[in-house]
Amino acid sequence: MTEVCFFSMPSAEAEAYWAGGPDANGQKPEVHISQGGSVPCRHCQQDVAEGEPYLILAYRPFPEAQPYAETGPIFLHAEPCARYPESGRTPRMFLKRESYLLKGYGADDRIVYGTGQIVPSQNMAGVAAKIFERDDVRYVHVRSSLNNCFSCRIDRA
Ligand SMILES: [Zn+2]
């Protein structure tokens, strides 16, 4: 079976937002205070704790704008945090949620139709490995199954 690797937001991108850089819409990230609950940070893959500041920004996890380059809201700790290590281990935070949307993309950064599916969290790595059996899939996106927000990318290890 294909080994997979969970790939969180690169630290260079997070650092640019922490420095006040613009988001994918050219706007300054919004600063909010967590009320607790579901506020997943895309860099460390942990929920922002109640009372801690976090950023809301428009994120485009693709190299360039094109029709398939979905841009949407994500959360990020407002203070620097440690990036979730690149590994085949499903981030624990994901396992606290019931399910995620997995979707394969090709080398052209476009959806590979037929790969999108809602998957129980504990099955994510296995389903991603199955999607990678298709040669035309370059990477898989993990997205919120309810809101389509980008969570992380899965690559072949
Ligand atoms: Zn974080």
Residue whose structure tokens are 């990318």: 153
- Could you read off the pLDDT of 37-57 as tens digits, one per residue? 999 999 999 999 999 999 999
pTM: 0.95
CA of 77 to the centre of ligand 1 (A): 4
Query: Residue ranges of the domains in the chain?
Result: 10-77, 86-156
Cα atoms found within 13 Å of the Cα of residue 63, Cβ hemisphere only:
6
Neighbouring-strand partners of residue 142: 102, 152
Tokens of 1: 């079976």
CA of 152 to the centre of ligand 1 (A): 13
Confidence at 2, pLDDT banded by 50, 70, 90: confident
- Could you read off the pLDDT of 96-106 as tens digits, one per residue? 999 999 999 99
CA of 98 to the centre of ligand 1 (A): 21
Neighbouring-strand partners of residue 141: 103, 153
- Could you read off the pLDDT of 62-80 as tens digits, one per residue? 999 999 999 999 999 999 9
pLDDT for the residue 97 = 94
Q: Write out the residues surrounding ion ligand 1, Cβ under 5 A.
A: 41, 43-44, 77, 81
Q: How does 124-149 read in b/e, with b if 16+ C-beta sit within 10 Å? A: bbebbbbbbeeeebbbbbbbbbeeeb
Give the type of residue at 144: S
CA distance 90 to 92: 6
Q: Which fold has domain 86-156?
A: Dna Ligase; domain 1 (3.30.1490)
Neighbours of 155 (CB within 10 A): 15
Q: Which fold has domain 10-77?
A: first zn-finger domain of poly(adp-ribose) polymerase-1 (3.30.1740)
Looking only at the bridges linking them, the beta strands covering 53-59 and 72-77 are: antiparallel
CA distance 131 to 137: 7
Helix, coil or strand: residue 122 = helix
DSSP string, 1-41: ---EEEE---HHHHHHHHTT---TTS-PPEEEE--SSS-BB
Identify the H or E element spanning 92.
Answer: helix 92-95
CA of 120 to the centre of ligand 1 (A): 23
